[in-house]
Amino acid sequence: MDSDKKPRLIHLVIALESAVLLAFLLMLTPIGGRLTLSENVGSAENGEAESGAPEDGETERLEKAGGGNAEENSGQPKEKEDSGRPESDDGADGQPDSEQKDYIKWVDFDIPADALKKAFRCDIDTYLADIHLNWIEILAYLGTQYGGDFSRYKESDMDAITARLLTGEKMADIAAEMEYYPYYLEAYTAVLGGMVGEYQVEIPGAQAPEFALPKDENGNPIPTEDNVWVTKYGLKAFSPIAKNYPYTDYDDFGASRDYGFHRVHLGHDLTGQVGTPVIAVESGRVEAMGWNRYGGWRLGIRSLDGQRYYYYAHLRKNYPYHKSLQEGSIVQAGDVIGYLGRTGYSSTENTNNIEDPHLHFGIQLIFDESQKDSDHEIWIDCHELIKFLSINRAETVKDESTKEYYRVYQMKDPAIPGGAAEQRIPEQADAPS
Ligand SMILES: [Zn+2]
């Protein structure tokens, strides 16, 4: 919010070969032109399906220790599907202190994609302005106003709060009297906190603005066919389904499932073709990998701030994962991590027992480590979030010799300390097919 403390956007573009690439990128030097990119490289057209309310049988009051209860927040699904928890882990988590600790115990996340997009645009459009609007604060303000029920959302409400902020009013003052604002700010930050920021990314030289091109000795831009690096402020989280691969989905969070015992569905299914490259939504560390009788071949990836556990399940039989991965690996947002399939619902490893090939995608929020593998896991409805993330889908390229897929455009997510390894096709890329 405070414009003089805000780092300025860099527009440094450096030829790939440059040995001092990183050093340059880290220098914050304001340069005239501006490249605001929400949609990275291309856009998405996906079929959107009907939505429906989760059919939760259970309700539970929101408990935020010290903050009282927000009665609007209820509807905790009772049981979970394929959480990625190792089956040997019986979760004997008698954590006596956790009851006393002050952390969020429940989050309903129901912000529609339209509201996410609009708030996001307010944020990126004001990034270089004197007053930089923060999309999560705007959404937290509205969430507080609506008692957490975004079915009440109206665009005009967002216009009203952004207009106030743009006159110079501070959110801290506006929200000072709103008892639950800190809760919504923390809850929505847990969901969205890793998605928007500055990062470096490659774009095709042919699409690069002049300031992004390499220069000759007279400072004139040299056109190039190569990719060039730019620094952007924008959406750095990706759709879990690679660009150019069709999928269908609908709001299936909380629907009932019958394998094993009756459970509710704590994730979101994206139905597509077997072999579709599955993409890391956010950068993180591989925490779970291997067979789970519900999820089949699955991956659990924890965000580097520890607050989000991304769960990708039913991956392809025989070749579920990108070969670079193992437990503990750091993946970068936009990397290929595996392949869509139909494994799972069997205690026998490597079994296809899912009728319709799909990616089961889930996001678990973790405010306290005791929540991770417990009866109090917080899984959120990702349907609208996935719709929002579909504006940023990673383009992939196949290595014909190994059949492995790789990302086309490299990225440097500053969330990864020391930077991530590039995921580049071994013999330098042909044109993406
Ligand atoms: Zn599922």
Answer yes or no: are the C-beta atoms of 38 and 218 closer than 8 Å: no
Residue range 14-19: mean pLDDT, rounded:
30
152: its two tokens: 């009440």
Average pLDDT score over the chain: 80
Largest CA distance in the chain: 71
Torsion of CA 113, 41, 133, 331, to 10 degrees: 80
Q: Has domain 256-408 been given CATH number 2.70.70.10?
A: yes
**Torsions phi, psi for 110 (to 5 deg):** -135, 30
Average pLDDT value for residue range 226-237: 95
Q: How far is the CA of 76 from the centre of ligand 1 (A)?
A: 17
- Residue 342 CA to ligand 1 center (angstroms) comes to 11
Between CA 203 and CA 12 the distance in angstroms is 13
Binning the chain into helix, strand and coil, the percentages to the nearest 5 are: 20, 20, 60
- Give me the phi and psi of 244, to 5 degrees please: 75, 5
**Mean pLDDT confidence for 236-241:** 98
Q: 3-class DSSP state for residue 199?
A: strand
CA of 15 to the centre of ligand 1 (A): 43
For ligand 1, the distance from its centroid to the CA atom of residue 313, given in whole angstroms, is 8
Separation of CA 429 and ligand 1 centre (Å): 34
CA nearest 199: which of 241, 238, 226, 225? 238
What is the phi-psi region of residue 148: left when phi exceeds 0, alpha when psi lies from -120 to 50, beta otherwise?
Answer: left
Whole-number Å distance, alpha carbon 254 to ligand 1 midpoint, is 10
**Model pTM?**
0.77
Would you say 256 and 293 are in contact if contact means Cβ atoms under 8 Å apart? no
3-state secondary structure of 332: coil
Dist. CA 133 → ligand 1 center (Å): 35
Helices (H) and strands (E) in the chain, counts: 7, 16
Residues 181-188: what's their mean pLDDT? Answer: 98
pLDDT, mean of residues 314-340: 98
pLDDT score for 67 = 34
Ligand 1 geometric centre to CA of 140 (Å) = 28
Q: Which residue has the tokens 């049988």?
A: 57
How confident is the model over 162-179, as a mean pLDDT?
97
Provide the 3-class DSSP secondary structure of residue 284: strand
Residue 428's pLDDT band (boundaries 50, 70, 90)? Answer: low
List the chain domain ranges. 3-44+109-235, 256-408
pLDDT digit string (tens) for 120-159? 999 999 999 999 999 999 999 999 999 999 999 999 999 9
Is residue 105 within 8 Å of 69, Cβ to Cβ? no
Q: 341 near 315, Cβ under 8 Å? A: yes
What is the reported pLDDT for 403? 95
